[in-house]
Amino acid sequence: MTTYKLTYFDFDGGRGEPARIAFHAAGIEFEDNRISFPEFNEMRQGTRFNSVPVLEIDGIEVSQSNAMNRFIGKMAGLYPSNELQALYCDEVMDALEDLTHYIVPTMGKEGDELKQARKKLVDGWMTVYIKGLDSLLARGGGEYFADNRLTVADIRAMVQVRSLRKGTLDHVPVDLVDRLAPALAAHQQRIEAEPQVAAYYASRQ
């Protein structure tokens, strides 16, 4: 029997969360190895790209969160078999990864430096990506991003938008998504209520 171990930070959200949800949706047992930031600092040099999440499949390490999302998504029936719809799914996940790359440099800043960095982010790339994702949702029909059904693209978007609307990032207005892209905010609430997703969060309580 194949064994899976997913190593990521001990919080709900971030790059590792969609894979956790997809594993749960697929009914596939995996070791949810949640680590602290100090633990990560100790182990990061031993990871391939000095980063997490890391997925171990029978002890063999795999990196890159969207590659994991596709792999687990296929097992869970959450990834399109149609090539064009798969492209749409990938486009959303890659756009969200790009947005994450703009967010990460603001981490670790404090005080006025953090406030200014986040204001620049909100006024610039974050607005661009929120509006862009809203247009991709409209292209998909307004309910889902691809394939007219739940996919890992919806899950990854839900995780990111959920984080923004909960106020996880200081100095990023909690109503930013609601103001810029109300359909994207509604999508987050709808996907969070999907039985497979809701069951995951219920298991965390």
Residue range 36-62, pLDDT digits in tens: 999 999 999 999 999 999 999 999 999
Hey, what are 187's tokens? 């999508």
pLDDT at residue number 126: 98
- 3-class state of residue 91 by DSSP: helix
Cα angle 54-202-32, degrees, rounded to a multiple of 5: 20
pLDDT for 135-193, tens place per residue? 999 999 999 999 999 999 999 999 999 999 999 999 999 999 999 999 999 999 999 99
- The whole-model pTM stands at 0.95
Tokens of 109: 């800043």
The pLDDT, as a whole number, for residue 55 is 98
Residues linked to residue 32 through DSSP beta bridges, in sequence order: 6
Higher per-residue confidence, 62 vs 12: 62
Q: Distance between CA atoms of 150 and 146, rounded to whole angstroms?
A: 8
At 113-141, the pLDDT tens digits run 999 999 999 999 999 999 999 999 999 99
pLDDT at 205: 81
Domains of the chain in start order, with CATH, are 4-77 (3.40.30.10), 83-194 (1.20.1050.10)
**How confident is the model over 95-106, as a mean pLDDT?**
96
Query: How far apart (Å, rounded) are the C-alpha atoms in residues 139 and 179?
Result: 20
